[in-house]
């Protein structure tokens, strides 16, 4: 049985541009966490109240709504300080969490791999550590549910020293995982494997694209944070060029800093990409805001120098004649359509040609065995046999770091 949830938001001079979208997103987040929104309360004020966020009068109104709707939980669309959370919960006599804890809760539901579970637990413990006072008792009295997944009640009842020890142990374990990831990345780099990363707002369709282009068979669903654990699959483009395609966790407004810190090794996977495909839900009401959020996070995460091709997805849900793209270069597709996926591959090849260096390489017949490596690591455009020279003539495009480019340069 789903919990009955009251959501609360304060519109201020700082957040008025995206407030409405943020509240709509909070409803989706609550539903993703298996809750039912029974009431939504908003308040406009110049700035949030330092003690209650909403002021004492509005707090009483929330208490009345909680009683009337028999709500189990109140979710604030703002990060609550430990003092605010404790005071509001005391006044309402019902469990109170904020947007950050709700997102962490969803991540706890979604984490499937050992690494993902460790990352989420680390983020939750870092978030909960300063909020321990009184939480254990409140949870014991009011039962589990949204906001209590992951570490849960038993870890909340540990003393701070024990929790800090646990955080240190998780960080150590994640460091080992990170080292393993780094070794895999280095292997791909040494093998001259070109790496393409899928990034974008949550629920934009990244997993659908990965499944359509490869045989990944990863979890895909029309819900927020359907993918949490990064997945890398091999994909062949052009004639025979082998690249890797990596699906990553979706971005969202106000992505909790605890998550960014905990997911460093996962984010490292994206930072090492050669090219990023920024997947955008073309049908999203707040598309521009979602684009801004992703581009801003790329900048914050030190990924703004990586070449980006924007993929406007879900074009079957919009009027194509009225659609006005805002990011360039771009390609407009519907990931569920096979023809669209072919269009996407063509757009990627065109994009890569502009980034790559053109080459013209002649291989003597006795060295034709090297052609396999050439085909797998470059975009081959033509292949001809020269009878007079008894050699093979290859033309195409290769990454600037390709040994084939260095080889061609040395032979000139």
Residues in the annotated binding site for Mg(2+)? 207, 227
**CA angle (381, 387, 388) in 5-degree steps:** 115
Annotated binding site for GTP: 200-207, 225-229, 247-250, 313-316, 334-336
DSSP letter assigned to residue 304: T
Q: Do the beta carbons of residue 282 and residue 320 sit within 8 Å?
A: no
Site of tokens 């995206």: 18
Task: Name, in order, each residue with C-beta under 8 angstroms of 121's C-beta and a sequence gap of 6 or more.
Answer: 108, 150, 151, 170
State whether residue 114 is helix, strand or coil: helix
> Is the Cβ–Cβ distance between 96 and 84 less than 8 Å?
no
Buried b or exposed e, range 338-377, using 16+ CB within 10 angstroms: eebbeebbebbeebbeeebbebebebeeeeeeebeebbbb
Cα Dmax for the chain: 92
Annotated binding site: 200-207, 225-229, 247-250, 313-316, 334-336
Pairing type for strands 241-247 and 231-237 reads: antiparallel
Distance CA 279, CA 163 (A): 38
Strands (E), 221-335: 231-237, 241-247, 275-281, 308-313, 330-332
- As given in the structure block, the two tokens for residue 262 are 């905990």
Look up residue 396 and give its two tokens: 């195409």
CB 115, CB 177: distance < 8 Å = yes
CA distances from 401 to 10, 183, 308, 357, 380 (A): 51, 19, 18, 9, 16
Tokens, residue 345: 């591959």
CA distance 29 to 8: 13
Please answer whether residues 410 and 394 qualify as being in contact, where contact means their C-beta atoms are separated by less than 8 angstroms.
Answer: no
């Amino acid at each position: 049985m789903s919990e009955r949830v009251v959501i609360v938001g304060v519109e201020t001079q700082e957040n008025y541009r995206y407030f409405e979208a943020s509240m709509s997103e909070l409803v989706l987040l609550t539903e993703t966490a298996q809750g039912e929104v029974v009431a939504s309360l908003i308040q406009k004020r110049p700035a949030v109240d330092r003690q209650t966020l909403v002021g004492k009068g509005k707090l009483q109104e929330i208490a009345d709504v909680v009683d009337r709707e028999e709500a189990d939980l109140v979710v604030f669309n703002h990060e609550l300080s430990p003092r605010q959370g404790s005071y509001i919960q005391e006044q309402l006599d019902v469990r109170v969490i904020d947007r950050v804890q709700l997102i962490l809760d969803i991540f706890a539901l979604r984490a499937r791999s050992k690494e993902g579970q460790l990352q989420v637990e680390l983020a939750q413990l870092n978030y909960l550590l300063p909020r321990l006072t009184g939480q254990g008792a409140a949870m014991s009295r009011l039962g589990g549910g949204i906001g209590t997944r992951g570490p849960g009640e038993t870890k909340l009842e540990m003393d701070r020293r024990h929790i800090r020890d646990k955080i240190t142990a998780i960080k150590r374990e994640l460091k080992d995982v990170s080292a393993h990831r780094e070794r895999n990345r280095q292997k791909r780099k040494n093998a001259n494997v070109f790496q393409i990363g899928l990034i974008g707002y949550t629920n934009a369709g990244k997993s659908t694209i990965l499944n359509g282009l490869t045989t990944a068979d990863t979890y895909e669903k029309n819900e927020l944070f359907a993918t949490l654990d990064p997945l890398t699959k091999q994909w062949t483009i052009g004639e025979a060029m082998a690249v890797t395609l990596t699906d990553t966790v979706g971005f969202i407004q106000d992505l909790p800093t605890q998550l960014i810190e905990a997911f460093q090794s996962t984010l490292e996977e994206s930072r090492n990409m050669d090219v990023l495909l920024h997947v955008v839900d073309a049908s999203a009401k707040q598309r521009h805001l979602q684009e801004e959020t992703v581009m801003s996070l790329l900048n914050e995460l030190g990924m703004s120098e990586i070449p980006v091709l924007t993929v406007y997805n879900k074009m079957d849900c919009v009027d194509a004649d009225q659609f006005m793209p805002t990011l360039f270069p771009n390609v407009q597709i519907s990931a569920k359509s096979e023809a669209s996926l072919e269009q996407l591959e063509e757009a990627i090849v065109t994009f890569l040609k502009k980034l790559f260096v053109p080459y013209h390489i002649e291989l003597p017949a006795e060295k034709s065995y090297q052609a396999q490596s050439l085909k797998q690591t470059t975009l081959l455009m033509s292949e001809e046999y020269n009878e007079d020279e008894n050699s093979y003539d290859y033309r195409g495009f290769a990454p600037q770091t390709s040994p084939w480019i260095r080889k061609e340069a040395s032979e000139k």
